[in-house]
Amino acid sequence: MQSDIVKVRIRGIYATALTKILLDKGFVIVQASPIIRQRFNIPENNTAPDLTIKTTEDPHTLLVIGFPRQVDETLRVLEEEVKYTIKWESKLGLYSTVIGRVLEKRGDECLVSLPYGLIGILGNCNEQPGTIIPVAIAKTALKPRENIVLTRNLRVIGYYAALIKDSNRITISEHIRDPERKAELITLSSNIIREGYGVHWRSSASRAETQVLLMELEELKKKLKEIAEKAEKASEGEIVYEGEKIVLLTLTNPAKQVLDKIRSEVTATIPGHHSYKALGGELSSIVDYAEKLVENKWIAPENAGKGMLQYIAEKLKSNKRIEIIHIKPDGTPIRLTPGKTESIIVKENGITVELKRIIRTPGIYDGLKIEKEPGDYDIMRINTLSWTITHHYYNRNGELKGEYININTPPEIGPDKIVYHDLALDIIKKPDGTIQLIDIEEYLKLLNQGIISKYIHEKILETLRKQGINTTQLEKNTRRKH
């Protein structure tokens, strides 16, 4: 059912740059948009993809989903080319069939042990603890604190359809909107439904020939029978069928800069293109306008980029409150107390800004472990070219209480917001001169799991050395891991 040629469907604001990377590496781009076909002079190809890459609700993150081998091949290329990424992937693919053991009953639900030491939740479960059962992954987990949801209905995935055991439902992708096509797909499903299978028609079924769809249904029926038979004989912890692999790939500011350069080889692109598109709002339209000027050679891309920085700086000066979005490695956005612009310096390719944040609630400063008092204030120094953000905490009398240096990706700055990805590590500096690197274990865990890329790790080591921090412990880990 699958060939050695990897077929990729790409959607979203990074499509041009990602298409360029993958075409250059021999991948086939299918179901491309008209503008992508025009930019790359590629013919229309409506073949079903092996995997899909698209922007998620978080505009800084790509969702990669598809057949496991092809997803792995694609990710190897993207991670090597784009470099500065944060990756979360499912250990167990969506709709994988695995053999689990019931651990505990909670009402009508069971906790089931799964491969890799994972635990899933199975509803309508009457089995007693210790029972070995085959289950399928109905909802997988990519990040901490996400639950794996299980089902008894084994499923097999094809290019155009998915077949579900012991079901009688027909569902159709929301992307198939033609009523006549929907009616035809329902008719094609009638025989297979009577045999005790459910069918989900995937978006690629919208244009496929009827004979191709019927052939795939027969292939899927045969494969699902094989999976069910294998599951009956399999041992606890065995993965009988892999399902679809899902990966979230976060593109940090430096990764977007790499994509800017790649996109500029194809079409008019100003520095910061992907960052501004991800920040959204008015910046997206301004970028389109600026790049139209570049396309017509009325302005050089670097000058348009400088103009954007100046525009953002002026807006930052006039805005009374600047939103600060601190994105944790697991993707959770933390909105810090907003700040007021104290100073802004614009250089050719970056902005340095100082914000003043007034502390209004009591507590403890994390890391510094000193009292936080109403009336304290934080002078926050942010540089779009730096891998750190420094917080200088003062009491109401202007006496320094301590410094907290956050290790993060170079920030992205818009007219009213600052966004950056936290990288777990922090440096604290106390007034007595004490300097300490904290949260090392959390960082090493992210690195060892392959969540933080080796390229980000190299930048962190370089940054820490400049701060006078001994990096021996982290370097040992680098040699062992890479």
Bridge partners of 380, per DSSP, are 355, 391
Homologous superfamily of domain range 320-439: FomD-like (2.40.380.10)
Q: Are 306 and 348 in contact (CB under 8 A)?
A: yes
97-243 against 320-439: fold identical: no
Q: Which residues contact 246 (CB under 8 A, 6 or more apart)?
A: 63, 64, 65, 89, 90, 93, 94, 140, 142
Report domain 97-243's class: mainly beta
Q: What value, to the nearest 5°, has the Cα angle with vertex 259 and ends 256 and 260?
A: 85
Strand partners, 371: 364
What is the longest distance spanned by two Cα atoms in the chain? 80
Q: What's the Cα-to-Cα distance from 357 to each of 307, 393, 408, 422, rounded to whole Å?
A: 28, 9, 19, 19
482 residues of the chain, pLDDT tens digit each: 445 899 999 999 999 999 999 999 999 999 999 999 999 999 999 999 999 999 999 999 999 999 999 999 999 999 999 999 999 999 999 999 999 999 999 999 999 999 999 999 999 999 999 999 999 999 999 988 899 999 999 999 999 999 999 998 999 999 999 999 999 999 999 889 999 999 999 999 998 999 999 999 999 999 999 999 999 999 999 999 999 999 999 999 999 999 999 999 999 999 999 999 999 989 999 999 999 999 999 999 999 999 999 999 999 999 888 999 999 998 899 999 899 999 999 987 899 999 999 998 899 888 888 899 999 999 999 999 999 999 999 999 999 999 999 999 999 999 999 999 999 999 999 888 889 999 999 999 999 999 999 999 999 999 999 988 988 888 875 544 44
Nearest partner of 372 among 345, 348, 401, judged by Cα: 401
The residues spanned by each domain of the chain are 7-92+247-251, 97-243, 264-318, 320-439
Is residue 251 within 8 A of residue 274, CB to CB? The reply is yes
pTM for the whole structure:
0.92
* Cβ partners under 8 Å of residue 229, min gap 6: none
In 362-400, which positions are buried (b, 16+ CB within 10 angstroms) versus exposed (e)? eeebebbeeebeeebbbbbbbbbebbbbbbbbbeeeeee
Is 264 within 8 Å of 345 (Cβ atoms)?
no
